[in-house]
């Protein structure tokens, strides 16, 4: 492993959620205003994921008061506090630029149900591992 790969591995975040186009996310980004630093939440739909490794980034779009706002975030940036995936979208394309021309109900994306159901089953299994250990004794 050369020096550059080693430095990149040190700077990568350990826990990063799997992000795909169509997912609805809530990004907690650190914002510096003068001498103060606060966390600002940006919630919207991912319209693209590009790059790989340390250089991976994603663009989030949301519509606020009738105006579309897009913001690009670096996944492994120290300015990103955390990323919450709220919904997994069921889309067929890797880039959702067509959403820029859609308004209101036409801009909705279906939810990927099977993946959400699998995640819920995995969480239940992690929370209660002692469900089948104790069996009642018959007399």
Q: Cβ neighbours of residue 124 under 8 Å, at least 6 residues apart?
A: none
Give the pLDDT band (50/70/90) at residue 32. very high
- Flag whether pLDDT at 58 surpasses 70: yes
Q: Cβ neighbours of residue 76 under 8 Å, at least 6 residues apart?
A: 11, 12, 13, 16, 54, 56
Note the pLDDT of residue 7: 87
Cβ atoms of 49 and 21 within 8 Å: the answer is yes
pLDDT, tens digit (0-9, with 9 covering 90-100), for 86-137: 999 999 999 999 999 998 899 999 999 875 566 666 667 676 655 555 555 6
Give the pLDDT band (50/70/90) at residue 35. very high
pTM equals: 0.77
In this prediction, what percent of the chain has a pLDDT beyond 70? 83
């Amino acid at each position: 492993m050369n020096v550059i790969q080693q430095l990149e591995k040190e700077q990568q975040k350990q826990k990063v959620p799997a992000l795909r186009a169509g997912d609805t996310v809530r990004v907690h980004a650190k914002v510096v205003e003068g001498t103060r630093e606060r966390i600002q939440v940006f919630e919207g739909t991912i319209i693209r994921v590009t790059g790989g490794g340390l250089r991976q980034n994603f663009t989030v779009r949301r519509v606020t008061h009738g105006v579309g706002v897009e913001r690009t975030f670096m996944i492994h940036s120290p300015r990103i506090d955390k990323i919450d995936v709220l919904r997994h979208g069921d889309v067929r394309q890797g880039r959702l630029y067509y959403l820029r021309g859609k308004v209101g109900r036409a801009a909705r994306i279906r939810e990927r149900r099977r993946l959400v159901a699998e995640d819920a089953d995995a969480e239940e299994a992690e929370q209660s591992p002692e469900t089948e250990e104790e069996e009642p004794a018959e007399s």
